[in-house]
Amino acid sequence: MKYLIVGLGNIGDEYTDTRHNIGFIAANALAFSFKTAFVTGRYASVARMSLKGRTIVTIKPSTYMNLSGKAVRYWMQKEDISKEQVLIIVDDLALPLGTLRLRAKGSDGGHNGLISIIETIGTNEFARLRIGIGNDFAKGYQVDYVLSRWTSEEEKILIPKMEATVELIKSFVLIGVERTMNFFNKR
């Protein structure tokens, strides 16, 4: 069985380690836990790993956030992966910093990456892991906030959450979205 894990973010040095790139950070943590590296592929950087007989294809789209659906559709088709085996990792302003919230399906919540994916693959019925980035910004400064880098205090909270994120992803692959939601969303 194959799984597609998609960490959303934007490519380029100006976006590295920004709040909006939490999906890339989570994808990097997953690859690091398997001692594997990303290679350049079509529409994305790609890392492959194996977990108890299951293949995990992890991508970091190179299409920028607003066109993430193009990369997701391509890799779903290339690897013949169904929507039930897809997990999208995104940042979420509505959740407190470091909160992990897994859902089996749902709306785009105004997230440009999710909007692109839903429009491109034609469904909102795919798992998504929302990682809280907080909302400590003045009215009208949302874009500046999500595109700014983490503070050292935030990094202290974030680092252990990346370990939990890796465990959540492994759980999704091994026991499915529903059981993983029951376990991790209650933490």
- Structural domains in the chain? 2-184 (3.40.50.1470)
Integer distance in angstroms from the first to the last C-alpha of the chain?
Answer: 28
In the structure, what pLDDT confidence band is assigned to residue 138 with cuts at 50, 70 and 90?
A: confident
Identify whether the C-beta of residue 61 lies closer than 8 Å to the C-beta of residue 68: yes
> Is residue 187's pLDDT more than 70?
no
**Rounded-to-integer distance, Cα 20 and Cα 65, Å:** 9
In the chain, DSSP finds a helix count (H) and a strand count (E) of: 6, 7
Confidence (pLDDT) at 119: 97
In the structure, what pLDDT confidence band is assigned to residue 2 with cuts at 50, 70 and 90?
A: very high
Taking residue 104's Cβ as centre, other Cβ atoms within 10 Å add up to 14
What integer best gives the mean pLDDT of the chain? Answer: 94
20 is catalytic: yes
Catalytic choice (20, 111, 130, 170): 20
The arithmetic mean of pLDDT across residues 115-121, rounded, is: 97
Nearest 5°: the CA angle 118, 53, 72 is 15
